[in-house]
Structure 1
Amino acid sequence: MKDIRETQYFKVEKEPEIRISDVIQKVYESLKDKGYNPVNQIVGYIMSGDPTYITSYQNARSIIMKVERDELVEELLKHYIDKFE
């Protein structure tokens, strides 16, 4: 038995960094698989912040909530603007 007066240590595993483009792709595919219009649902989520716009199928809701909504908009806008260059 360990001495309770000694400092206990634990290590928290850092979650791997997720790319925003991967988040958008995974969520898009999950919404499409479930028969939703992915564009409408993602826009609804971005505009309202209501996670129920995103299906929980394949953890899509949890995945999209790991990214700030403004980061989603930024990534989408960058991708759109890159097509002009």
Structure 2
Amino acid sequence: MPKINHTQFFKVDKEPVNEAKEVLTTVYKALSKKGYNPINQIVGYILSGDPTYITSYNNARSVIMKIERDELLEELLKNYIDDKLN
């Protein structure tokens, strides 16, 4: 039987932060600002793993290396499919 003289706590979890999406957005903006074609550069990085495809401007290179390439690819594919099905 519950204790009626104690206050129950109810906690709603925040929606998890989508790190891959944030990273891709940050990197895309940095590459665009520096005059690169962000799509080409991100594809080059994902395929090769070579971080020099990503500018160091605004720490974009460091940021993108914090996420595994397969996670980046998964996020891109998920968003593409979601866009096509909705």
Counterpart-to-counterpart distance in 1, 2:79 and 2:18? 17
Runs of 4+ more than 4 Å apart = none
Counterpart-to-counterpart distance in 2, 1:80 and 1:36? 22
**Helix, strand or coil at the partner of 2:23:** helix
Residue 18 and residue 79 in structure 1: after superposition, are their counterparts in 2 closer, same or farther (change >3 A)? closer
Write out aligned runs for 1:63-82 (5 A): 63-82=63-82
Aligned residues: 69
Q: CA deviation at 1:19?
A: 1.2
Identity %: 67
Aligned-pair Cα RMSD in Å: 1.2
Counterpart-to-counterpart distance in 2, 1:75 and 1:41? 16
**Helix, strand or coil at the partner of 2:43:** helix
Q: Unaligned regions of 5+ residues in structure 2, if any?
A: 1-16
Q: Unaligned regions of 5+ residues in structure 1, if any?
A: 1-16
TM-score, length of structure 1 as denominator length: 0.78
TM-score, length of structure 2 as denominator length: 0.77
Write out aligned runs for 1:1-85 (5 A): 19-83=19-83, 84-85=85-86
